[in-house]
Structure 1
C-alpha cells in the first residue's frame, strides 16, 4: 500500500490490498439510480444455504448494531451484554439509553457465561461476540449453543456478532438455521478489506431479519458499494487464504510476546490483546509511534492493555516488538544515571565559577544551561557559566581548576569522594552479569570513566569515553562505535540530558530518560527524543 505507516489500531486490513480489488472496475452506468440490495442478498442467502429474505445488507456492521438498539428501544426490549465488549455497544448505549445490563467479565477477561445465563430473561436481546473484541475470545461451539438454547428457553433472542469469524477458520460452523431466536452480524470490513466502503450484513430467519429490515434506511448501501460487495463475495476462496495467513502470523506474534514474558489472550480474531505495566505500555506506544506503527493503547476498562492488529507482512511489527522486548545492547551514560555526581561534578562547576569569577551560580543555573543541549561535557558547561558571568577565562584554566577540585591533591580530598552509586542490586547484577551486551558511553575522560566503572563494580563490554571519540554527545559517534562493534540492530540508551536523548535518537536507539526531577526537565527529555522517562535507573527493571 502507498501509505508508509502501518495502521494496526482498528483491526482493518491495513497493509495489503485484496488481489481481486486490484482489478476491480466500477461500473458507473447506473449510478444515477437508487440502489437495490435484493439481488446480492438473495445470492448470499443461497450460497449460505439460507432461504430468500434471510440476509440483509447494512452500512457496515455498525449500522446493524445501531439497528439492534433502535429495534430494542422501539419495542421496549432489554439488552444483555457481557463485558469486555466492542465500543459500539457502549456508544449506542449512551445514545439510545436502553434498558441494558452489562455483565462483568471473569478475572481473565473471558465471558462469564454463568452470570450471563443467570441474567437472561424474556423479551431481551443477548449480545454474543465471537471472536470477542477486544480479547479475541472464541466461544466453543458447545458453549455457544448452550447460551443460544438457554436464551430460547427463557424467551430471549441472541444477537451474534461475528465480525471477525473468518479469522477463526472454523471447520464445523453451527447450524444457523436451527434457531429462530438468532440473528447474526457479519461484515466486509475485516477479512474482505473493505472497511472504508461500509458494507455489513445480518442473517437469520426471514421473520427475524425482517424486524431489522423494516427499520433500516431503504438505500443504506450505495450502488458503488454493492458492486464492491459482489466482487468481494465472489472472491471468498482468496479471503480464506488471507485469513489463514493472518492466523499463522497471529501465532508468531503471540509466541514472540510469550518468549519475552508477556501473555496475550487466546485470540481467534485478526488481533492480539495483552496487558503490561504502565511504563512498558508507554514504551510500546512511543517506539511504535517512532516507527510509524499505530497500535491501540486506549481501551475502556483496560488501563494496562494493548491491542495490535495482525498484518499480512509482520516483519516491521516483529522488528519493533523485539526492539521493545529484546534489546541486544543496553548502553548507559554514567553521570546522573549510574552515579550521583550532584555533589562532585556539579559542585566542581559551582566552585570553579566562584574561583574564576568571584561570583556564584547554583544547581538551577547548571540544570537550565545543561537543558539547552551541547553541554554534555562538564568542563564545557563550567566554561559557559564562567562566560555568562561576563568574565574572560581561558578554557584550559577552567579545566585545570575543575580537575583540581574533582581529583584533589596531597592536601585536599577531591570532590570525587562525594559520588554515590545510583544503580543498585539486584538490577545491577541483572544488567551486567547476563545478556544483553552492556556499554558505558560517557563524557568522562577515560581514566575517570574507568574509575566510575570500578566504583560501581560492574563489567560492561564496552567503555566509550570522551577520549575515544572526536565528537561528544549530542553527536552519536560513541553509540555508533558500540553498534558497529556489536553489529546490533536493537539498542537502548539510558541518559539524563537532552544531549543523551538526541544522541540516542540519531543512533536509532530506544531512549530512556533518567532522573528528571521537574515537569519541565521531563518535558525537555521528551522533546529531545526520550521514549519514556524514569525517576531513577532502578525503575528500568519495569521495562525489562
Structure 2
C-alpha cells in the first residue's frame, strides 16, 4: 500500500515581507493622548482652511441598515458632477484604500511600478503589499504613479505635461495612476478628470477639499473595465453611511470650492513671503501647503515648534531631513506660525 507523501511545511515569518507603515501628518489626537493638553495648531495636515459650509445633519436612523455596497446613488452624483458615467467611478474609505485596491487589482508578484521621489509614501507601501517592486524609470513599469500637485513639494504639472506622460506610459502598455487629491485646492484646469482613457486612473479626495479627515472618503475615475477590477478587490461596505451621506451633500455644493481656491491663493502668497522673510527657502507652491527648506535638522525644529503648540510635517520620512511642510491656514493661524518660527530659529 502506497502512502502519500506531503511536502514538509516550512515556517515563514511574513513580517519579513511586509513593508513598514508610512509616516503621515495630522497626529493631533495622538499628541493630546500623550498629555499635550494645550491647544495645538495643526500645520502638518493639508486641509482646506476655508471649506464650504455644507448643510448636513447626520441621520441616526440610517445606521440600522447596511450601506448600499454598490453605492449607486453616490456614484451617480459624482458622475454628474464631473460629466462621467457612473460605471467609471470608484469610491473608498479615503484615497489610501483606492491606492491599495488599484495596486491589488493591477499588480502581481514582480511587476514594476515607477515612483519618483519624494512623493506620497502610500504608493510604495501599496505596491509592495501587492507583491510588486518600486523603480524610478518607467520604461518597463506596469504602473506609473504621478501626484499632481505633488506631495510634499507642491509641484503642479500642466494639463499638457500630464497628458504627455499618459501618452508615453500608455504607448508602452502601462497604466498611469494620477493622484489629484489636492488639485481642487490648486488649479483644477490642469486636471485630467474629464478624460476617459483605458490606461488612466484619476484619484481624488473629499477629505482635503472639504476639510473632513474624520469622514474618510476618496473617489476615482477609470474605464468601466478598470473600475470593475477595483470593485472586485475592494472590501465591502468600506464607505460608511455617514460618509456616503456627507459626500452626496458635498458634491451638491462642489462649485463652492472656487471661493476656497481664491482665498487659499491669497493666503499662500502672504505666508510664502513671510517665510522667505525669515531666510527660509520655499519650493514654489501651488496648493494649500508649502515645502520649506530650513537651516537645521527638521526633527529639532519640529520639536521646538511643538513645544509652542505648532505641529508641522517633519519631512525626514520623505528623505528631506532639512525640510518641513506647512499647511496654508487662516491669516491669524499663519501669523502664529511665523511668530513661533521666529522664536525657534534664533
When the two structures are aligned, how many residues end up with a matched partner? 306
User: Out of 116, 121, 131, which is 2:140 matched to?
Assistant: 121
Partner of 1:217, secondary structure, is coil
Q: State the 1:17 CA deviation.
A: 6.3
CA deviation map 1:290-313 (0-9, x unaligned): 3312111243211101100111x1
Give the secondary-structure state (helix, strand or coil) at the position aligned to 1:62: helix
List alignment gaps of at least 5 residues for structure 2.
1-37
Q: 1:210 to 1:234 in 2, by over 3 A?
A: same
Residue 250 in structure 1 maps to residue 268 in structure 2: yes
Cα distance between partner residues in 2 of 1:220 and 1:196: 14
1:267 is paired with a residue whose SS is coil
Deviation at 1:96, TM superposition (A): 4.0
* Contact preservation (8 Å) 1:287, 1:320: no
Unaligned stretches of 5+ in structure 1?
104-115, 326-509, 511-530, 532-542
Given the alignment, which residue of 288, 292, 295 partners 1:270? 288
Q: How do 1:141-540 and structure 2 match up within 5 A?
A: 141-171=159-189, 173-174=191-192, 176-278=194-296, 281=298, 284-300=301-317, 301-311=319-329, 313-322=330-339, 324-325=341-342, 510=343
> What is the alpha-carbon root mean square deviation over aligned residues?
2.4
CA deviations over 1:308-339 (Å, ceiling 9, x no partner) = 0111x1323324324534xxxxxxxxxxxxxx
Kindly name which structure, 1 or 2, has the bigger radius of gyration based on alpha carbons: 1
Shift of 1:143: 1.4
1:494 matched residue in structure 2: none
Q: Deviations over 1:485-527 (max 9, x none)?
A: xxxxxxxxxxxxxxxxxxxxxxxxx4xxxxxxxxxxxxxxxxx
TM-score, scaled to structure 1: 0.53
Distance 2:204 2:167 in 1: 21
Query: 8 Å contact 2:123–2:145 — kept in the other structure?
Result: no
Deviation at 1:54, TM superposition (A): 0.6
Partner Cα separation in structure 2 for residue 207 and residue 90 of structure 1? 24
TM-score (norm 2): 0.81
Equivalent position to 2:98, from 64, 68, 73: 64
Query: Within the alignment, does 1:8 sit opposite 2:43 as a pair?
Result: yes
- Could you say what secondary structure the match of 1:79 adopts? strand
* Contact 2:193–2:202 (CA under 8 A) maintained in structure 1: no
**Bigger shift: residues 270-279 or 227-236:** 270-279
Distance 1:324 1:132 in 2: 25
Higher relative contact order, structure no. (Cα contacts within 8 Å, ≥ 6 residues apart): 2
- Paired residues of 1:265 and 1:272 also in contact (CA < 8 A): yes
